[in-house]
Copies of this chain bind each other. A is one copy, B any other.
Amino acid sequence: MNEKTFALKGTVCYNESPEKLSITENGYLVCENGVCAGVFTNLPEKYNGIPCRDVGDCLIIPGLTDLHLHAPQYSFRSIGMDLELLEWLDTITFPQESKYADLDYARKAYSIFAEDMKKSATTRASIFATLHVAATELLMDLMEETGLKTFIGKVNMDRNGPPALQEESAQASAQATLAWIQETAGRYQNVKPILTPRFTPSCTDELMRMLGEIQKEYHLPVQSHLSENLGEIAWVKELCPNTGFYGEAYDQFGLFGGENGPAIMAHCVHCPDEEIALMKERGVYIAHCSQSNTNLSSGIAPVRRYLSEGLHVGIGSDIAGGTSVSLLRAMADSIQTSKLRWRLVDDTLKPLTLEEVFYIATIGGGSFFGKVGSFEGGYEFDAVILDDSNLPHPQPFTSKERLERLVYLSDDRNITGKYVSGAKIF
């Protein structure tokens, strides 16, 4: 028996399927060597004597996965929200990201980010850093200490940026990426590198080709942006006249999932049918970033369609297009925008339900990390303890109602415990 073998006792909630929640009140959730052994109404005899943390009336849910966010943007979240994507990038984001050339600044900013991520309900995340190798490694160091499991990417950009936030050439960008991969190899338990071409407008074909080669050699996953905004899509069409749709701009270099390695594409708000078909074929993970797509006036992604067609969908806070790191809030945002889409755009796609967004935020994104996001036996033991006692009410609620309330009303005060792969974070 080791320190990663124990039980939690409380009201255990997780998805059995996208449509169905399993809720066990006064249940025992058993962790054996960091892996979930299942949920039991009575502790099986073989576990007699293992440590048990009784969280009383609290809910216990699987850890949540944030499939898309920008760590350097946390410092300026909620600033300049009256702007649309491309204007916001030029006037706020790029000047702010260029500050991460300064390691002292990066340490201040990333320390705040890492601390808030640690307190959140997020257990796994796929994170954009900036193009700066030293600051990216600092972010990796700080995130390693939190105990969260993350992919972190040094960003590649060799065109259309401001002078202060652009690499000198495709060659220079690719070499910096290689140096970063080699320097950090084997350094971390919790953090892994991910290739991160910012988006097609920021990366020349030559750079994309080089990144495709690096991917083949190092078998790294890829993260980028796709079909977020109409202006962006039109620009990509101009930049890549040989492509039929945006996704091909990645796919032609092997950076769109498939056999070379998995890919996360953030947003997917305005994907044409062919792009959706290719995402399905390549097993691309869609990071649905509802709050960001609202803040930047991008639109509303057809998540119901992605789910029913069997694509991989996870949830993303997209800091700082989104302003909140709370993935419980992101679940509520996703339900809300799906309702507006149903009302205003296409009433054949019904709004998302509580069960479905809970699935997306747990198993949907978690599966990018392996067996993550469920409490069925064999899954990595990622768990979050939610205490709703600061939200008084005069009448009894069912456990599902309590979960729904936490999705809409919780903040960091409600998150009172967290485990990642069996390790206690707090």
Interface, chain A (partner B; CB < 8 A) = 75-82, 96, 99, 105, 108-109, 112, 291, 294-300, 323-324, 332, 335-337, 339-345, 351, 353-354, 392-395, 397, 401, 404-405, 407-409, 411
Contact = CB atoms under 8 A, between A and B. Distances in A.
A294 B82 contact: no
Main SS class of interface, A: helix
- Among A299, A336, A351, max chain B CB count under 10 A is at A336
A278 to B, nearest CB: 25
A409 B78 contact: yes
29 contacts: A75-B394, A75-B395, A76-B393, A76-B395, A77-B405, A78-B407, A78-B409, A79-B401, A79-B404, A79-B405, A80-B404, A81-B354, A81-B408, A82-B354, A96-B395, A108-B394, A109-B395, A112-B392, A112-B394, A294-B336, A294-B340, A295-B339, A296-B339, A297-B340, A299-B340, A299-B343, A300-B344, A323-B332, A323-B408
A331 B392 CA distance: 25
B82 A336 contact: no
A361 to B, nearest CB: 16
B297 A342 contact: yes
Contacts of A335: 81-82
Count of chain copies: 2
Contacts of A339: 294-297
Contacts of A392: 112
A404 B81 contact: yes
Contacts of A76: 393, 395
A324 B408 CA distance: 8
